[in-house]
Structure 1
Amino acid sequence: MSTILRNAVAAIAFTATAVTAASAETRVTYKSAKTGSSYYQMGVELAEGMKAGTGGEISVTVEESQGSVQNVMEVRARGGDYVFTTPPALVGLAQKGKAMFEGKGNPAFDDIRALFPIPSLTMHFVMSADSGISDIADLDGQTILLGKGSFGAREGEKYLGLFGVADKVKIADVELSNAVAALKNGQIDGFVTAGSYPAPNVIEAAASTSVTVLSLNDAQVAQTKRTELTIPAGTYAGQDADITTTSLPVVAFTTTKMDDDTAYALTKTFWENKAKLGDTSPWWNGVDPAMLSNINGKIHPGAIRYYDEAGIALSDAQK
């Protein structure tokens, strides 16, 4: 065989190998939240974890999103490589064509399937220790920062009304990004924030001044009609006891367009690498299999295969 022919054969073989390797890589798009948010950062961490956990066999591209409703709506035009995050309740509303999905129903919504939970949006009522406040029902006369337009702001306002103090507190006209500074200089007595725990702004507040993160009693949790969540003692500086609060569960979803093997690989890799994710960012440590009970819709068959193998019980409705 001539040198030219051998080189040509080698080039063809190399090209074939490269094509085979490229085709073996599974590409997934992960739609999360706005750039700069904690949930976008989670998406980046998850993408890195998937790449490392599968030896590069799964490549995840993180896309910025304007919110959970948009994530659900995009199901109509996306393919089998689409993974997105949203509270399970929004999926239910989309499938029923209710609330923000009224008049926007689509058969594609019925094909949405869950994969695994991610850190929940967790309510924090953070008070200066000097305020002496230990119960949300005792906020009479306090200056509270709610922020604007966020889930935490809307939820915080709702709670003030539920617990009879909406007309007894002063709402500070300060951006949530300035909450810690405003608390330290006495401009406010407390602030409300919602995010995965441990929340960065709560960590900062607790590290720089004495604060109390309020705990809700059983009756108060029931009034909110939200999911109860416990923030373990020691999560924040000076926190000697567990904090009972509320949360909005958030889950990674896909659709039945995704093949079972990919859904299985994503789910398996997530759970088997969750501890490493927690080493990077502690908010992953708050995720455990018990949170699967927050999924009130169906789980993808590929993910079910992993849960069956792992001995993690699912409800009949989830299957």
Structure 2
Amino acid sequence: MKLLPAAIALLAIAAAPAFAETRVTYKSAKSGSSYYQMGVQIAEAMKAGTEGEIIVTVEESQGSVQNVMEARARGADYVFTTPPALVGLAQTGKAMFEGRGDPRFDEIRALFPIPSLTMHFVMSEDSGVTDFAGIEGKTILLGKGSFGAREGERYLGLFGLEGKVDIADVELSNAVPALKNGQIDGFVTTGSWPAPNVIEAAASTGVHVISMSDAQIAETGRTRLVIPAGAYAGQDEDIVTTSLPVVAYTTTAMDDDTAYELTRTYWEQKAKMADSARWWDGVDQGLMENIRGKIHSGALRYYREAGFPLTDGQM
């Protein structure tokens, strides 16, 4: 009879619901970058939205190519961010993935879009520049070594401004002070909108963010994006520019329920994330069209339930 209390206790433990904690690794960008901070916010949102059932660990990355490459060896808990174009290149073994192909690249599946890398050509009000033609003869800061710097230089060439603009030898981190003191007339920056350095420049000195024509956008080969009026101080009209879409991916190794919960929680927590960082305002159902290739079957279940637009190629 002395064994009875112990037996009852064991039965009670067995009958109690198990707490199924799921751990996920989210690999995005270098620490200190806006995309790393987004990862931190997503981790917090997942914990809050699932009441601790999904715990996300944010892992620093050296770039999108590394993120894709690691999909070959990572397990079911791996989530990573990259432009959709890189997934396509990996799956076809082209460009930086030439000779580095792997069958597991074909198992990459999308979960949800995150804020896009958005081009900003920012000119001071004092410069009087409101279009690309007006940039000729002005001093522009492009920065060094970044995607934005390379893209900005490419656009100057495409729009007939190569050799007609003075390129400032100043770090992008000093763009706003340089604009304030008249050292530069404008700067080029990328990042999710509204970009912090553009917010600061617009509030402190007054700026005009140049819009692109449809013909110019077509010439760049990038994705069209509209920054709505009011995103920056003094911007009374929509800004039409280009972007590089970024998407969170996993692989078919992730089970459907986890992919479903990650996707559902992301969209349901997005408004709360936007309360602390306005770049989440740039994410809506319209960004779904930027997802090229297949979406994870678990995420598809959520999108069908929520009535999101989907294409045949995503299913």
Q: When the two structures are superposed, what TM-score results if normalisation uses the length of structure 1?
A: 0.95
Residue pair 2:116, 2:244 contacting (<8 A) in 1 also: yes
Structure 2 unaligned segments of length 5 or more: list them. none
Task: Name the structure 2 match of 1:82.
Answer: 78
Residue pair 2:285, 2:309 contacting (<8 A) in 1 also: no
Task: Name the structure 2 match of 1:261.
Answer: 257
Q: 3-state DSSP class of the match of 2:313?
A: coil
Task: Name the structure 2 match of 1:20.
Answer: 18
Runs (4 or more) in structure 1 with deviation over 4 Å come to: 4-10, 12-19
- Counterpart amino acid of 1:309? E
Q: 3-state DSSP class of the match of 1:20?
A: coil
Task: Name the structure 1 match of 2:229.
Answer: 233
Greater Cα shift, 26-35 or 272-281: 272-281
Shift of 1:20: 3.4
Q: 3-state DSSP class of the match of 1:120?
A: strand
Distance change (3 Å), C-alpha of 1:185 and 1:14: farther
Distance change (3 Å), C-alpha of 1:208 and 1:67: same
Q: 2:157 aligns with which of 161, 170, 175?
A: 161
Residue pair 2:288, 2:309 contacting (<8 A) in 1 also: no
- Counterpart amino acid of 2:18? T
Q: When the two structures are superposed, what TM-score results if normalisation uses the length of structure 2?
A: 0.96
Task: Name the structure 2 match of 1:197.
Answer: 193
Matches for 1:41-60 after TM superposition, within 5 Å: 41-60=37-56
Residue pair 2:125, 2:208 contacting (<8 A) in 1 also: yes
Matches for 1:145-294 after TM superposition, within 5 Å: 145-294=141-290
Q: Deviations over 1:19-75 (max 9, x none)?
A: 932xx0010000010000000000000000011011111000000000000000000
Task: Name the structure 2 match of 1:122.
Answer: 118
Q: 2:291 aligns with which of 289, 295, 311?
A: 295
Shift of 1:289: 1.1
Greater Cα shift, 184-193 or 12-21: 12-21
Give the % identical residues: 74
Task: Name the structure 1 match of 2:136.
Answer: 140
Shift of 1:5: 8.7
CA RMSD, Structure 1 to Structure 2 (Å)? 1.8
Task: Name the structure 1 match of 2:93.
Answer: 97
Distance change (3 Å), C-alpha of 1:18 and 1:77: farther
Equivalent residues, number: 315
For residues 15 and 69 of structure 2, the distance between their equivalents in structure 1, rounded to whole angstroms, comes to 39
